[in-house]
Structure 1
Amino acid sequence: MVAIPELPQDARFVRALLQSEELLKQQASSVFARCDLNQNGQIERDELKVLCEAMHQRIGLKRLDQIELGIRLGKFDDDFSGGLDSAEFVNLYKSLLQDALGEDVCEPNPPARSRSRGRSRVSKQPSLELANLPSDPRYIRAILSSEQLLRQQALAAFGELDRDGNGQIDRDELFGLCLQLHRKLGLKLPDDIELGVQLARYDEDLSGGLDRHEFLQLYKQLLQESLARAALRLNVGDEVIVPYLGEESGRRYHALVTSVTEEGAGRRFVNLRWLRPPMGQRPKEYVSGHGLDDTEYTRVPLELVKLKAEADTTMSI
């Protein structure tokens, strides 16, 4: 089974893709490159079977038999070539995502709770698991790229956080949100002073809490901060895409992380081992001829480094 890390992992990310044509095309392009095993620029029946099996395992797409695979292929093969080019594949990929979404893709449900406005205020429990928070950087980018999706997600998170049902997010409830973003995405956990500053910054009517409109602005800021922090979460052995500083082209190449070091003023560097190209697979995407002995240009500023899994969502590799 070919690993396809670009595939969405749950129904929320599927909905994000289906609501953004730009993001859908980026994802489809990345998945196309991964599934085109013979590199002929087309997705054929056997390659489509691999994709559908991966989508079955990842997001619950119904398994397709040989006849159903042929029907899918024929439906989107506009030029009758026997396979799907990248443009035709986008429409097929969208169709498969829609089918998977209709297959009751598993995702956690928000906990049921009373919304009585008359009950006394209950202190927020920081251990609450929030079902509607994004779980990875790709999903954050999807949310931030769509105002409609951002509003939907913010309102869903607001509903989970507002445990006392007073229509506002107070300090304790805001801490619960920050704690979950810290656990899931590495957001820096604010102390009491920072928490108060965040609350005051967006509390436009000085009510001591955030209504839905005010919370939307704060939620967007926290997602942006989480996305920035996620870039710092590199582990030894991660495959990354980085420029080779021994040349001026700015071209990015494949490498493995060997360590992350920090110098004065908080400047971080990633130490790398350059990867040699796999047999017959686009050697221009790998450093060749020089630098491969791990003695030259293997230290790159962190801000120039992208995780391969994330880079695949924004460019065809």
Structure 2
Amino acid sequence: MFFNLVILVALFLVDFAPASCEVGAFIYNGFQSGNLSLDGIAKLTSNDLLLLTDSKTKDQGHAFYPNPIHFKNSPNGTAFSFSTTFVFSIRSDYRSMSGHGLVFIIAPQRGLQGAMPNHYLGLFNSTNNGNRSNHVVGVELDTTFTEEFGDINENHVGIDINGLKSVAVHTAGYFDDTGLFHNLTLASGQTMQVWVDYDGSTKQIKVTIAPLHVGKTVRSLLAMKYDLSPILDQNMYVGFSSSTDPVPTHHYILGWSFKINGKAQELSQLPRLGRREESRFLTITLTLISLVLLVVAILSGSLCKKEEEVWLSSTRLKIGQAQAQLR
């Protein structure tokens, strides 16, 4: 009888154990499982990619791991260490413009109430940006310049606490083993990987970014001391946010790994991105400019027949090269 009582008590305690305690790590090598909480225009593609925003709609998209993560043992406790890594690609329809970037976020809830697109990156709005009550931590990959938020340029990586005015920021790039800095263009369409590491004992946050084929470098791009304990609640949600206005842009996540109190698992066998879509606008513009120049040259009589043929051949070649670069 005593033995049966012990079993009943044990089952009772198991039933009332917090479910979030069971979630300390996860990995997505592609998103074929569909086990994500999506809103806005975020969706999963047929080739297992997470697409936060596309090039058809000027709006915002969010994707969260569906279960809360246990970040502290008590409301006033010390935040645990955590590690995450993800692979992304930002592809704009226009080479020289994109908008607005994406953010890895830790937030109290999956739904970001009142969040605005545009330069607010689907995170905040004009009334709550910077509020201490937000309890949001983010690492932004920002591809537009916003003077309001103190941005340093239109291509930077920043650590955000409760708002979009970064507490640490650096032009996008990485340091090689010799200490030489290499610039990266976030919206180039190149596949890149990000690592975010927080040490709960030293209160150190580190952010590293590099092309996928380079791997994690010894020296991080951003490193700062900041105690996240007052910012993080006991249970938080982790995910991504992105917005596109004014320039329609594809924001892809190819893989994602996360772990509390340990190193995030390495990503492998990631899905492939399709070929870059050609920008009809740029192609038509190049063709029209070439035709106008040709008409002007012929009417002015400045080109002989042979020179016209050479010029036409050169123009066609340049148009072909421009189209090839857009693919």
TM-score range, shorter chain: under 0.3
**Which protein has the bigger strand share?**
2
Q: Which has the higher contact order (CA 8 A, sep 6+)?
A: 2
Structure number, greater radius of gyration: 2
TM-score normalized with structure 1 length = 0.25
**Which protein has the bigger helix share?**
1
TM-score normalized with structure 2 length = 0.24
